[in-house]
Amino acid sequence: MEDRTSAATTPGDGAHLADSVSRDGFTLLVGTFRSPELYVMRFNPPQPSSSHADGISTTKGLLAVAHKASALAGHSWLSLSPDHSHLYTTNWADPPSVGAYALDRASGLPIPTPLNTASVASLSGYVVVSPSGRHLISVGGPTGEVFRLEDDGRIGPLVQTLVFRKPAELADGAREGVAHGSFGGLRWGAHSVDLSPDGKSVYVADIGHNCIWTYSLNEAVDTGATNTTAIGNGEGSNGNGNGYGENTNKNIQLLTLTSKHISVRPTDGPRHCWPHPNGAVLYVVQEHSSMVDAFRVIDPQEEDAGTTTLLSHMSGASIIPPSAMPKDFWADEVRTSTIGADEGRRPRWLYASTRGLQPETKGYVAAYALDGNGALESSKAAAIYETRMSGGLANAIEPAPREVYQRLGLLDNSDNEIEEYIALTDSEQGWVTILGWNGKAFREVAATRLGARDDDSVVQAATAVWV
């Protein structure tokens, strides 16, 4: 097994290493599940150096905590505004809420400054900012919300609510006898919300209902009137009498339900979605089956689109090795590479991750080759990497933006494979890791732990965003 010690630092090394990480490096913001702190981290990529005969680089980078900011709560998910001037978060607090921060760059680092919070009906699993930067969408378990964003970045009034479960159905789709609990219904409910590249569609992955909800998004209908409609009780109807997936405020309807797409396998549990940059393919990671699937997105204007199904399954692949059993894992995240032809609009790789349900079961990150249109080239992963820990509640992945490689002068428009950097978070021991992928194998480029809380408990790294 690879010797990872030379790439890693312990909490005690953090202060010393932070001094050695150049301001010319790259910045990440990292949230935690339960600690009311946000971490500003700096990553210095490795310098070009010698490689093994198989082409795998042997040099290491540096990763360190540059600043620790007080936070509104623990933040399981982070989302940046389109211009990266503000940060929006899920707030794992009682009562649950979502939060807003301004990013103050006066010091040269993006320091989060709290602005305000807004209450949500149930624990939020995911937040995303609309393409215009005017709205914040939150989804978690049985419910979801759409908030207007004020000019100064604060979260404004509630303009639409969504209901995915009736009160009696909160445990629908529960996976019996597994670790980590239900998170207030989030574990078995609607879990994520993602936008299509053109900003006209919204995808909600629903673990318990084993489906993907698709919505159309029309921000123009919000003319600025204040909404005082209370959050619904789960009895809202979408016209077919099932009471699912529909907004309970008929005054403002930014999101309009267009379809409920049942997943490929009865045991899948869709957790997260991610679109190809061309908008014609949607990738879905399946929490229970540890599969990643590619769906063709059918244009509603196409003759064969019908009225309900807007996703057509293309193919799928496992995230875990053949010898592993899906019952021992819960898959986490899916992302496309940010490098590739046509200035990254045709990514070469798809990445997906899964976590071990128990500490003794390590998690995995897998890479899959994509063709020029976004289809999986094979039903098998190009490589599967075992993570240093189970991942705990995390093992979330986030590839570095193209700016990193542009600044490093690595994008020469040739067919040469360059090493891509992927942030990986772990809540079991609080590791934040930068993985490298060169088209042949993964490696650990740099890693550090966030440390411990005052009671010596682990600071549980949740998700990271590149700023």
Segment 387-415 mean pLDDT: 85
Across 361-386, b (16+ Cβ under 10 Å) vs e yields bbbbbbbbebeeebebeeeebbbbbe
Helix, strand, coil abundance in the chain, percent, nearest 5: 5, 45, 50
Kindly report, residue by residue over 298-335, the tens digit of the pLDDT: 976 665 555 445 899 999 999 999 999 999 999 999 99
Q: To which H or E segment does residue 341 belong?
A: strand 340-341
Pick the more confident residue, 39 or 179.
39
What's the pLDDT at 368? Answer: 99
Q: Using pLDDT thresholds of 50, 70 and 90, give the confidence band for residue 411.
A: confident
Q: Which residues of 276-291 are buried (b: 16+ CB within 10 A; e: fewer)?
A: bbebbbbbbbbbbbbb
Instruction: Band the pLDDT of 467: cuts 50, 70, 90.
Output: very high
pLDDT average, residue stretch 81-87: 97
CA pair distance 60, 8, nearest whole angstrom: 9
Q: Stretch 384-401: mean pLDDT, rounded?
A: 95
pLDDT at 358: 93
The structure's pTM equals 0.88
Q: Which of 47-61, 156-170, 335-349, 379-393 has the lowest mean pLDDT?
A: 47-61
Is the pLDDT score of 178 beyond 70?
Answer: no
pLDDT at 245 over 60: no
Higher pLDDT, 418 or 103: 103
Q: What is the pLDDT of residues 262-279, one digit of tens each?
A: 999 999 999 999 999 999
Query: What is the Cα–Cα distance from 109 to 40, expressed in whole angstroms?
Result: 8
* Average model confidence (pLDDT) across the chain: 85
Phi, psi of 239, deg, nearest 5: 100, -15
Q: Looking at residue 108, what DSSP letter applies? A: S
Token output for 39: 């971490």
Do residues 206 and 222 touch, judged by C-beta distance below 8 A?
no
| Residue 447, SS3 per DSSP | strand
Report the amino acid identity of residue 26: F
Strand 442-449 to 8-9 pairing? parallel
Of residues 317 and 188, more confidence is placed in 317
66 CB-contact burial (10 Å; exposed 0-12 / middle 13-18 / buried 19+): buried
Q: Domain coordinates of the chain in residue numbers?
A: 1-70+423-467, 71-422
How far out from the chain centre does Cα 433 lie? 16
Residue labelled with tokens 């990440």: 28
Please check the confidence at residue 250 and state whether its pLDDT lies above 80: no
Exposed, middle or buried, 23 (CB in 10 Å: 0-12/13-18/19+)?
exposed
Which of these, 115, 33, 118, 39, lies nearest to 74 by C-alpha position? Answer: 33
pLDDT of residue 357: 93
pLDDT at 426: 96
**pLDDT at 94 > cutoff 70:** yes
- Exposure b/e, 156-176, CB count within 10 A at least 16 = b: bebbbbbbbbbeebbebbebe
* 418-443 average pLDDT score: 96
What pLDDT sits at residue 454? 73
- The pLDDT of residue 232 is 34
What pLDDT, on the 0 to 100 scale, is given for residue 206?
A: 95
Residue 359 CA to residue 31 CA, distance in Å, equals: 21
Q: Tokens at residue 314, please?
A: 């293309």
Question: What average pLDDT does the segment 48-63 reach?
Answer: 66
pLDDT-based confidence at 52, cuts 50/70/90? very low
Instruction: Using a pLDDT cut of 70, give the percent of the chain over it.
Output: 79
Query: Where residue 25 falls among pLDDT bands split at 50, 70, 90?
Result: confident
CATH topology of domain 71-422: Methylamine Dehydrogenase; Chain H (2.130.10)
What mean pLDDT comes out for the span 62-76? 96
Q: What is the DSSP string of 216-279?
A: EE-GGG--SPPP-PPPP-S----SSSS--SEES-SS--SEEEEEEEE-SSTT--EEEEEE-TTS
Q: Give whole-number Cα distances, 238 to 210, 234, 243, 260, 261, in Å.
A: 18, 11, 6, 11, 15
CB-CB contact of 182 with 264 (8 Å): no
At 22, the pLDDT band (50, 70, 90 cuts) reads low
Closest to 41 in 3D by CA, of 421, 390, 428? 421
Residue with tokens 């207030």: 184
- DSSP assignment, residue 132? T
Phi, psi of 43 (to 5 degrees): -120, 125
Q: How confident is the model at residue 165 (pLDDT cuts 50, 70, 90)?
A: confident
How confident is residue 251, by pLDDT bands cut at 50, 70 and 90?
low
